[in-house]
C-alpha cells in the first residue's frame, strides 16, 4: 500500500513502524493526534512530495520512482542524507556496540569469541565512519556549492570553471557497498557463533543489525539512484552555461 | 552493489505491471524492481546505472532502430524478457532471450518465469550441498590468513580464475562475503588459530 498525503500520520506508523527513524530525520516527532500527513508536513514546513517519496521508497523497497524524484533540490536530499548519517554514527552504531559490550561481559560467550565479535564490529564501525566522512567532507559540500553556483545568475566564468573541476563520476565509480560486513556479522551470529544459553540480548543485537542493514540499503540506493542523477543534470547545466558564456565573449 | 535480484520493468500498462509484481513475489525470490512506463531513449544509461539482472520490456516501448544493449565482454549481462501478446512479429520476438506471453494462462506464465529464475541461478528449488569441499576449505584457510587470490593461485598451482570461482562458492555456502568475515568463521570453526593471523 502506497502512503499518501490524506492518510493520518498515526496510521502511517501503524502501517509500518520501521518509518519512525525516517520521521525523525524530518524533525517530525510523535504526538500526531488526528493530523493527516499533509497537515503534519505543512506544520513542519516540509515539501510534501519529497516527504512522500522518501517514506514510500523506505516503506516498499520495490517502489522506486527513479525519474520523478529527480525534480527535487539536491540540498533537500543532502539534508536528509546527513541526518541519516548522524542517526547511524551517533545512535545506532553506539547502541549495537553497547549491547555487544554487555553481552561479552555476561559470560555466556567464550573469551576468545568475545574478542572476535568486538574486533569485527569495531572494524565495521571504522569502515562505515570512513565512508561517511568522505561523503560529508568531499562529496556533499561539492553538490551544495554546485547548486548554489548554478542558482546564482551572477556567477562568473571563473566560479563556474572552478566548481567544474570535480565531477560526481568520481563518486559514482568508487562508492562502495557498506553493508557487506554487516551481512557477514548477521550470518556469523545466526549460524556460527556458539552460545551456551538462550541469549535474549543476542536477539536484540540481531534485530538491530537487520534494521540497520535495511536502512543502509535504502540510503545507498538514494545516493546512487537519486543524488547522482540530480548532480549529473546540474553538471550538464553547468557545461551548457559555460559554453554560452564563452560564445558571448 | 546489492545482492538481491534487480529487475527493470518497462511496460506502459499499470495493471500488467502490478500483475507481474504479484507473480514475482509469488516466486519467492527477494527482488528489487524499477518501473518505467514511458519509452526510453537513454536505456543504456539506465542499465549502466542499475545493473539489472533481468529486464522485462514491452517491445512497444523500445524506440525503433535501437538494439538492446549487451556487453558480452563484461561479466554483467542482463537477460531480456519480451512482454508480448499474440500477433507479435517473429523479428520482434528474436530480439529477446525469453518471451513472456501476456495472453498466456497461469501455468504457462509461471513455467516461463521459473525457467528464467533457474537460468539466473536463484531458483529456490535448486538443491545444493552446503558443506565446504576439501579444496574450498584449504582456500578458505589461506584467505583467512590474509593471502590474496594471486598468492593462493601460486601456492595451490591453480589459476586465479579458479580461485575466484571457489571463493564465490564459499561465499554462497556460508553466507559470508568479506575477508574479515571469513577469518572470523575460520577461527570459530577452529580451521585456523587466532595467533596465526596475529603473527602474519
Ligand atoms: Fe551516505
Ligand atoms: Fe554512501
Residue A136 lies in a domain: yes
Indicate the residue of A113, A183, A194 with minimum beta-carbon distance to B177.
Answer: A183
pLDDT for position B32: 82
Indicate the residue of B1, B175, B180 with minimum beta-carbon distance to A120.
Answer: B180
pLDDT tens across A91-118, in order?
A: 999 999 999 998 888 777 777 788 889 9
| Residues of the domain holding A53 | 9-63
pLDDT for position A92: 96
- Domain shared by A95 and A206, yes or no: yes
DSSP-H helix ranges across A44-109: 48-59, 74-86, 93-106
Q: How far apart are CA B114 and CA B108, in angstroms?
A: 10
CB B100 within 8 A of CB B83: yes
Asked if CATH classification 3.40.50.920 holds for the domain at B132-199, the reply, yes or no, is no
Q: What is the distance, to the nearest Å, from the Cα of residue B34 to the centroid of all Cα atoms in its chain?
A: 16
Residue A111 lies in a domain: yes
pLDDT for position B72: 64
Residue A1 lies in a domain: no
- Domain shared by A49 and A115, yes or no: no
DSSP conformation letters of A165-234: TS-HHHHHHH---SSHHHHHHHHIIIII---SS--HHHHHHHHHHHHHHHHHHHHHHHIIIIIHHHHHHH
Please give the average per-residue pLDDT across A122-127, as a whole number: 95
Contact A185 B181 (CB under 8 A): yes
pLDDT for position B130: 77
Domain boundaries, chain B: 5-120, 132-199
Contact B32 A62 (CB under 8 A): yes
- Domain shared by A49 and A166, yes or no: no
Flag whether pLDDT at A18 surpasses 90.
Answer: yes
Q: How far apart are CA B134 and CA B137, in angstroms?
A: 5
pTM for the predicted model, two decimal places: 0.74
- Domain shared by A155 and A218, yes or no: yes
| ipTM surpassing 0.90 | no
- Domain shared by A33 and A89, yes or no: no
CA terminus-to-terminus distance, chain A: 55
Ligand 2 mean position, distance from CA A189 (Å):
25
CB contacts < 8 A (A, B): 72
- Domain shared by A95 and A218, yes or no: yes
Beta-strand runs (E) in B58-192: 79-84, 98-101
Q: How far apart are CA B51 and CA B69, in angstroms?
A: 12
pLDDT for position B129: 66
pLDDT for position A171: 92
Ligand 2 mean position, distance from CA A167 (Å):
16
Q: Under CATH, to which class is B5-120 assigned?
A: alpha beta
- Domain shared by A51 and A81, yes or no: no
pLDDT for position A1: 81
pLDDT for position B125: 41
Ligand 2 mean position, distance from CA A33 (Å):
35
Tell me the residue length of chain B: 200
- Domain shared by A28 and A135, yes or no: no
Indicate the residue of A62, A176, A193 with minimum beta-carbon distance to B31.
Answer: A62
CB atoms within 10 A of CB B193: 12
Please give the average per-residue pLDDT across A200-207, as a whole number: 90
Q: Which residues of chain A are within 8 Å of residue B180 when distances are taken between CB atoms? A: 120, 123, 181, 184
Ligand 1 mean position, distance from CA A46 (Å):
22
B5-10: strand order across its sheet:
B31-36, B5-10, B54-57, B79-84, B98-101
For B33, the grid coordinates are: 524492481
pLDDT for position A196: 66
Ligand 1 mean position, distance from CA B17 (Å):
31
Contact A62 B21 (CB under 8 A): yes
- Domain shared by A180 and A223, yes or no: yes
Instruction: Please list the residues that pair with B36 across neighbouring strands.
Output: B10
Residue A68 lies in a domain: no
pLDDT tens across A26-78, in order?
A: 999 899 999 999 999 999 999 998 999 899 989 987 776 666 666 788 999 99
CA of B176: which chain A residue's CA is closest?
Answer: A184
- Domain shared by A107 and A158, yes or no: yes
**How far away is chain B from the Cα of A184, in angstroms, using its nearest Cα?**
5
pLDDT for position A146: 96
- Domain shared by A59 and A96, yes or no: no
Q: Is A245 exposed, middle or buried (0-12, 13-18, 19+ CB in 10 A)?
A: middle
Q: What are phi and psi of A36, to 5 degrees?
A: -80, 165
pLDDT for position A201: 86
- Domain shared by A161 and A222, yes or no: yes
Q: Which residues of chain A are within 8 Å of residue B185 when distances are taken between CB atoms? A: 188, 192
pLDDT tens across B24-45, in order?
A: 888 777 788 888 888 777 777 7
Residue A95 lies in a domain: yes
Domain count, chain A: 2
pLDDT tens across A131-178, in order?
A: 999 999 999 999 999 999 999 998 888 999 999 889 999 998 889 888
CB contact set of B23 (below 8 Å; sequence gap of 6+):
B109, B110, B113
Ranges under pLDDT 50 in chain B: 1-2, 123-127, 199-200
Amino acid at each position: 500500500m502506497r502512503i499518501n498525503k490524506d492518510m493520518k500520520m498515526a496510521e502511517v506508523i501503524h502501517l509500518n513502524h520501521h518509518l519512525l527513524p525516517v520521521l525523525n530525520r524530518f524533525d517530525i516527532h510523535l504526538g500526531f493526534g488526528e493530523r493527516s500527513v499533509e497537515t503534519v508536513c505543512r506544520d513542519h514546513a516540509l515539501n510534501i512530495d519529497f516527504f512522500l517519496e522518501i517514506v514510500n521508497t523506505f516503506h516498499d523497497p520495490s517502489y522506486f520512482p527513479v525519474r520523478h524524484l529527480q525534480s527535487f533540490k539536491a540540498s533537500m536530499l543532502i539534508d536528509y542524507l546527513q541526518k541519516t548519517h548522524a542517526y547511524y554514527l551517533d545512535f545506532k552504531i553506539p547502541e549495537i556496540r553497547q549491547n555487544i559490550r554487555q553481552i561479552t561481559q555476561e559470560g555466556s560467550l567464550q573469551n576468545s569469541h568475545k574478542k572476535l565479535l568486538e574486533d569485527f564490529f569495531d572494524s565495521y564501525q571504522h569502515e562505515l565512519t570512513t565512508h561517511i566522512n568522505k561523503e560529508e567532507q568531499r562529496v556533499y559540500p561539492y553538490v551544495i556549492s554546485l547548486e548554489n553556483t548554478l542558482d546564482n545568475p551572477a556567477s562568473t566564468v571563473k566560479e563556474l570553471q572552478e566548481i567544474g573541476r570535480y565531477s560526481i563520476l568520481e563518486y559514482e565509480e568508487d562508492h562502495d557497498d557498506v553493508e557487506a560486513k554487516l551481512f557477514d556479522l548477521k550470518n556469523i551470529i545466526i549460524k556460527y557463533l556458539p552460545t551456551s544459553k538462550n541469549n535474549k540480548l543476542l536477539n536484540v543485537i540481531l534485530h538491530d543489525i537487520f534494521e540497520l542493514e535495511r536502512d543502509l540499503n535504502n540510503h545507498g540506493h538514494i545516493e546512487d539512484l537519486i543524488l547522482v542523477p540530480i548532480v549529473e543534470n546540474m553538471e550538464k547545466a553547468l557545461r551548457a552555461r559555460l559554453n554560452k558564456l564563452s560564445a558571448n565573449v | 552493489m546489492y545482492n538481491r535480484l534487480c529487475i527493470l520493468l518497462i511496460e506502459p500498462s499499470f495493471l500488467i505491471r502490478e500483475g507481474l509484481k504479484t507473480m514475482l513475489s509469488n516466486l519467492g525470490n527477494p527482488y528489487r524492481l524499477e518501473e518505467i512506463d514511458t519509452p526510453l531513449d537513454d536505456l543504456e544509461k539506465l542499465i549502466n546505472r542499475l545493473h539489472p539482472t533481468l529486464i522485462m520490456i514491452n517491445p512497444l516501448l523500445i524506440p525503433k532502430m535501437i538494439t538492446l544493449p549487451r556487453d558480452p565482454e563484461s561479466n554483467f549481462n542482463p537477460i531480456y524478457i519480451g512482454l508480448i501478446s499474440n500477433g507479435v512479429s517473429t523479428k520482434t520476438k528474436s530480439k529477446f532471450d525469453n518471451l513472456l506471453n501476456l495472453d498466456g494462462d497461469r501455468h504457462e506464465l509461471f513455467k516461463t518465469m521459473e525457467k528464467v529464475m533457474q537460468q539466473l541461478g536463484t531458483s529456490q528449488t535448486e538443491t545444493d550441498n552446503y558443506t565446504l569441499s576439501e579444496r574450498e576449505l584449504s582456500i578458505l584457510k589461506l584467505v583467512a590468513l590474509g593471502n590474496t587470490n594471486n598468492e593462493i593461485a601460486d601456492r595451490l598451482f591453480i589459476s586465479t580464475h579458479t580461485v575466484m570461482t571457489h571463493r564465490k562458492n564459499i561465499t554462497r555456502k556460508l553466507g559470508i562475503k568479506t575477508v574479515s568475515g571469513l577469518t572470523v568463521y575460520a577461527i570459530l570453526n577452529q580451521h585456523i588459530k587466532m595467533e596465526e593471523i596475529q603473527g602474519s
